């Protein structure tokens, strides 16, 4: 694997803003090549887009950086697209970012600086604030991370995003993670090494609307919880304990009323309510167990995470010139 930086960008219906994003990445690559001598490539992973994203990606120029375009056979989801980019990257260090333009390419040089100058293996970003989000979404995020990190030996940083840089050895460690059901934020944190958080202000989305709605957020939350936490199972145990204690207190109070006051407690309403509560709790807990069992089944099947329908590579002009120069120098040395 060659030394340098691979920028992995998963794409799904990003045709309108892709050319602008590529221009910004090219500017960032030029700066890195001039200041740090880094060879840079970008790996665009088209995750079954329904618009012209793939066509536009294949036509992007490779003027300042190599351009790989990996087309998946269908929409496998963002986590699978990130895994595909990780597998196809040819440089040592890895940088992951979204294709909607909200992850600022101007921040790439800062992340690289923390890696090369500061010696950090994982430099991850997080939103500086969430004032533009609804209170419901902010509360849901806090609850998710509180539950995810409850009793965990390794805490996953709150609000950490997919926009992050991994050193060559951190990227290699991530490649060795075998699971099919992947939660990238958790995996990149779990590998350890020296990690640093960088706060940033996300740019406004200039085109279209995000495809990551409430349903996708809920699915990702369930994926993260069942992949990195047993908190739902612990909650089931605690809830069962609370219900058992409540039933004991309720039974003692009824017995006290009958013996001391001679009050006959009506049985029908209490029995119906008790059965409904117990039945609902049992169904919820069966669903929680089903999520974990389904995860185990998926891992045992060991199906591939994705399939590639097409793959193209364009080599940057600067890289071609460097390759020719090295080959010429080698030939001269052999001749001498």
The Cα–Cα gap between 65 and 8 comes to: 13
Q: How many CB atoms lie within 10 A of CB 232?
A: 19
The Cα–Cα gap between 11 and 98 comes to: 7
CA distances from 273 to 237, 247, 251, 255, 269 (A): 21, 12, 14, 18, 6
Buried b (16+ CB within 10 A) or exposed e, 194-209: ebbebebebeeeeeee
- For residue 152, with 0-12 CB atoms within 10 Å meaning exposed, 13-18 middle and 19 or more buried, which class applies? middle
Q: What digits encode the pLDDT tens for the residues 271-313?
A: 766 777 777 777 777 877 777 787 777 777 778 888 988 888 8
Q: What digits encode the pLDDT tens for the residues 58-112?
A: 888 888 888 889 989 888 888 888 888 888 888 888 899 888 878 888 888 888 8
Q: Is residue 71 within 8 Å of residue 308, measured between CB atoms? A: yes
β-pairing, 122-127 vs 66-72, is: unpaired
3-state secondary structure of 199: strand
The answer to pTM > 0.75 is no
Superfamily of the domain at 2-213+306-331 = Spore Coat Polysaccharide Biosynthesis Protein SpsA; Chain A (3.90.550.10)
Residue ranges of the domains in the chain?
Answer: 2-213+306-331, 231-301
């Amino acid at each position: 694997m060659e030394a340098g930086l691979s920028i992995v960008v998963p794409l799904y219906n990003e045709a309108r803003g892709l050319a602008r994003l590529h221009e910004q990445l090219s500017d960032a690559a030029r700066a890195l090549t001039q200041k740090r001598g880094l060879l840079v490539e970008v790996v665009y992973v088209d995750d079954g887009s329904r618009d012209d994203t793939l066509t536009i990606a294949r036509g992007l120029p490779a003027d300042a950086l190599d351009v790989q375009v990996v087309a998946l056979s269908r929409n496998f989801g963002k986590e699978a697209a990130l895994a595909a980019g990780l597998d196809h990257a040819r440089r040592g260090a890895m940088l992951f970012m979204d294709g909607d333009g909200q992850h600022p390419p101007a921040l790439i040089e800062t992340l690289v600086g923390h890696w090369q100058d500061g010696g950090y293996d994982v430099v991850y970003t997080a939103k500086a604030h969430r004032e533009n989000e609804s209170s419901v979404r902010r509360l849901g995020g806090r609850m998710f991370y509180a539950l995810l990190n409850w009793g965990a030996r390794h805490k996953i940083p709150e609000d950490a995003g997919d926009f992050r840089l991994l050193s060559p050895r951190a990227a290699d460690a991530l490649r060795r993670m075998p699971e099919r059901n992947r939660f990238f934020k958790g995996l990149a944190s779990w590998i350890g090494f020296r990690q640093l958080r960088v706060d940033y202000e996300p740019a406004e989305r200039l085109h279209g609307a995000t495809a990551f709605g409430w349903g996708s957020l809920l699915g990702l939350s369930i994926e993260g919880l069942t992949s990195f936490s047993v908190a739902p199972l612990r909650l089931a145990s605690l809830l069962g304990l609370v219900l058992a204690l409540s039933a004991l207190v309720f039974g003692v109070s009824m017995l006290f009323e009958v013996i001391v006051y001679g009050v006959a407690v009506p049985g029908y309403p209490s029995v119906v309510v008790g059965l409904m509560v117990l039945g609902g709790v049992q169904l919820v807990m069966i669903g929680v167990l089903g999520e974990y069992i389904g995860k185990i089944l998926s891992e045992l099947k060991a199906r591939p995470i994705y399939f590639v329908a097409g793959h193209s590579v364009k080599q940057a002009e600067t890289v071609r010139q460097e390759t020719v120069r090295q080959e010429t120098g080698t030939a001269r040395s052999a001749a001498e």
